[in-house]
Chain A
C-alpha cells in the first residue's frame, strides 16, 4: 500500500463516514413551522402599519408622561456605600472595611425582587442582601453621562434594593445597575446571556458554607462527592488538558486541597466566600448590562473602569462564543475571559517595597502582578459562592488575596499583617497536601 499522509487518511475517513451516514430529511414539523412563519405577517396584528400605529400612540403617551412626571423616571434614593457595606476605618492612609462583616448571608424569599428574580432551586440557601437605610438623593442612571464623578459612593444600594456602581467610559461617568439575585437560568448562547443563580450555596454538600460563609474542616474531610460527582473524578477532569486545556487546578493540586487552601486564606483575612464572590458578580452583572444595551464584540471593552470602594477597577472582556463546561454537575458554564486589575497607588507600592526588601526584582514584579491583576471567567463567582472554589493555581485563578485588595475589601497593610512576609508564597505556591500540612 502506498503510504498516505494522516490528512489524506482523515479526509477519506470523513468522506466515507458522510457517505455512510443516514439520509436525513426535514420532518413535517419543520414545514409546519415554516408555514407558520409565512402566515404570521399576513395578520393585521403583525403588519407594519399596525405596529407603526401602536408605536406612535405609545410614543405620544410616553412624551406626555415624561413632560409631567419626569422626576419619577429619574428619582431613586441611593444610599452611601458606607451605610450599606461594612463600616470603614483608616489604616495606613487607605480606607478598608471592618473585619466584622455579616457572616450569615441569607435572604428570605420575600426579599427577592418580585417579577424580576426568582427563588433559588430547592435545597439551595438564599443569601441575604444588605439592608438599606434612609437617605435620599436623586441620580440619573445610564444612558445619562455625568461629566464629573457623581456625588455617590460606589457601590451603593438604592432604597428599592438595587445595587449600583459608577462606571467611567470615554463618554463620561454613568450609573449602572448590577444587582445580585437569583435571576433567570442560563439559556443558549445565541439567545441571551443570563445571570442565573447568584445567591444560592450548595448546602447539601457544604452545610457549614451555607451557614457561615466558610467551609468547616469537618465538611471538607468527610466529603466524597460534590453535586453527586466523585471528588476523584472532579480532580481528574479539573486538571490541565482534561475538560479544559488550562485546567481548573494545577497538576499537583486536587479539588479538596484547593478548597482547603483557599478556605484558609479567606478565613485568615476575616472574610467569607459570599463576600469574595460579591464584587465579581457585580462586574459580571455590569458586563451583562452593557451586553444588553450595546451588544458584544469579540474583543470587548465597553467601559474603562468601575469605581469600587474608592478604587478604579479596570475591566476588559473577551467573548469566546463557545462554552467551557463546568467540572461539577451544575448548569454553570463559561464563555468569557475577563481581565480585572487596578494600579496600586504609590503608598501601596512603597509599603510592599519596604516589606519585601530581599525579594528579587522578578519575584517582586510577579507578586505585584498576582496581587493586582486577575484573568478569570464568569464561572468564578458562581464557583466561589456555591463551593468556595477559586480554581487552583492556573491562569484562571480568582485569587482571594487579589480580590480583597483589588476591590478594597482589605488594605495592603492588613493583608501583609495576615501573611507576615510570606505573600509571595501565598500567591504563587500551589495547594498540594504537603504545602497545606506545612501551613
Chain B
C-alpha cells in the first residue's frame, strides 16, 4: 500500500526509469494513469473497436523500447501517444480498415444508438427522470458529434485535448502538427461539435 502511494507521487519519467530496471509496479501505475486515456483515444480519435488489444500492444512496445525513451526529446505522455498513434495506423493499414465515414451515415447510426442507450438506461436505473435524461442526452449527443467529425485531424486533436492533457505543444508533437495547426483544428472541431449539439437541441454558451 505504502509502495503504491510512493509510486503515485513519482513522475512518468521516474516510473519509466524504474521500468527499465525490470520493476513491475511502475507498469501497473502507468496502466492506471494512461490505459483509459488511450482507450478514449483509440475508440474516438482512431475509431477502432478492439481498443483493449491495442492498448496491451502499446504497453508491450513501451516496455521493449523503454531504453530508447529520452525525456530530453519528449515527455513520456507524448512518446506514449505517438507510439499509440503509429501502432494504430499500422494496425488499420494492415487490416485495411481505414474508413472515411460520411456525416450523414454516421448521424443516423449514432442517433439510433443514442436513443437505444437512453431508453435502456432510463428503464434499468429508475433514477430521477429529468436530471438523468439531461445528463445522458448530453453525453450521448457529444459521443455522436465527435464520431460525426469526418476530418481526422479535428477528431484526433479534440479527443487528445480533452483526454490526454490540454497542452498544444504535446498534441502537436504527437500528431506532427505545429501549435498553430493544433489550435486551428481544435477551434474548428469545437465549432462543429457546438453546432452539432445545437442541432440536437443542446445549447451551450461559447
Where the two chains meet, the residues of A that have a C-beta atom closer than 8 Å to any C-beta of B are: 1, 3-7, 9-14, 16-18, 21-22, 24-27, 29-31, 33-35, 37-39, 188-190, 233, 236-237, 241-245, 320-325, 329, 331, 333, 335
Contact = CB atoms under 8 A, between A and B. Distances in A.
Contacts of B158: 10
B161 to A, nearest CB: 8
A188 B58 CA distance: 12
Contacts of B65: 190
Nearest to A320: B176
Given A13-B142, A21-B39, A241 B151 contact: yes
A6 B194 contact: yes
Contact of B52 (A24, A33, A37): A24
Across chains A and B, which 7 residue pairs bring their CB atoms closest together, nearest first? Answer: A322-B176, A38-B22, A320-B176, A14-B162, A24-B35, A13-B142, A322-B175
B44 to A, nearest CB: 8
Contact of A24 (B39, B87, B152): B39
Contact of B40 (A12, A18, A25, A321): A18
A325 B185 CA distance: 17
B63 A37 contact: yes
Nearest to B158: A10
Nearest to B30: A26
Contact of B31 (A26, A35, A37, A237): A26
B7 interface: no
Nearest to B64: A33
A188 B31 contact: no
Interface stretch (B9-17, B89-97, B107-115): B89-97
Contacts of A25: 28, 31, 35
Contact of B39 (A22, A188, A242): A22
A243 B181 CA distance: 14
Contacts of A333: 89
A352 B24 CA distance: 69
B177 A323 contact: no
Interface in B101-125: none
Contacts of A329: 96
Contact of A323 (B35, B176, B204): B176
A320 B139 CA distance: 34
Nearest to B35: A24
A4 B204 contact: yes
A324 B142 CA distance: 27
Contacts of B173: 321-322
Contact of A3 (B20, B175, B203): B203
Contact of B142 (A10, A24, A320): A10
B48 interface: no
Contact of A30 (B20, B39, B60, B86): B60
Contact of B163 (A5, A18, A31, A322): A18
B82 A190 contact: yes
Interface string B130-172: 0000100011001100000001110000100011000000000
Contact of B86 (A4, A17, A243, A323): A323
Contacts of A241: 151
12 contacts: A3-B204, A6-B204, A9-B197, A9-B202, A10-B193, A13-B142, A18-B37, A21-B36, A24-B31, A34-B27, A37-B63, A188-B90
A34 B19 contact: yes
Contact of B134 (A1, A14, A18): A1
A333 to B, nearest CB: 8
Contacts of A21: 35-36, 39-40, 43
A269 to B, nearest CB: 34
Q: How large, as a class, is the contact surface on chain B?
A: 35 or more
Nearest to A318: B178
Given A6-B204, A10-B190, A14-B162, 16 more contacts: A9-B197, A9-B204, A10-B162, A10-B193, A13-B143, A21-B36, A21-B39, A21-B43, A30-B60, A31-B27, A34-B27, A37-B20, A37-B66, A39-B22, A236-B100, A237-B100
Of B138, B162, B174, B181, the most chain A CB neighbours within 10 A belong to B162
Nearest to A31: B24
B70 to A, nearest CB: 10
Contacts of A236: 100
A321 B27 contact: no
Contacts of A24: 31, 35-36, 39, 52, 55-56
Nearest to B27: A26
Contacts of A37: 20-22, 63, 66
Nearest to A1: B134
B150 to A, nearest CB: 8
Contacts of B190: 6-7, 10
Given A34-B19, A37-B63, A190-B79, A322 B85 contact: yes
B205 A3 contact: yes
B63 A34 contact: yes
Contacts of B40: 14, 17-18, 21
A175 B66 CA distance: 35
Nearest to B174: A322
B22 A34 contact: yes
Given A3-B205, A321-B174, A190 B68 contact: yes
B23 to A, nearest CB: 7
Contact of A16 (B139, B152, B174): B139
Contact of A9 (B24, B55, B138, B151): B138
A34 B8 CA distance: 20
A237 B134 CA distance: 37
A38 B21 contact: yes
A12 B37 CA distance: 14
Nearest to B59: A30
A176 to B, nearest CB: 25
Contacts of A237: 100
A336 B176 CA distance: 9
Nearest to B34: A24
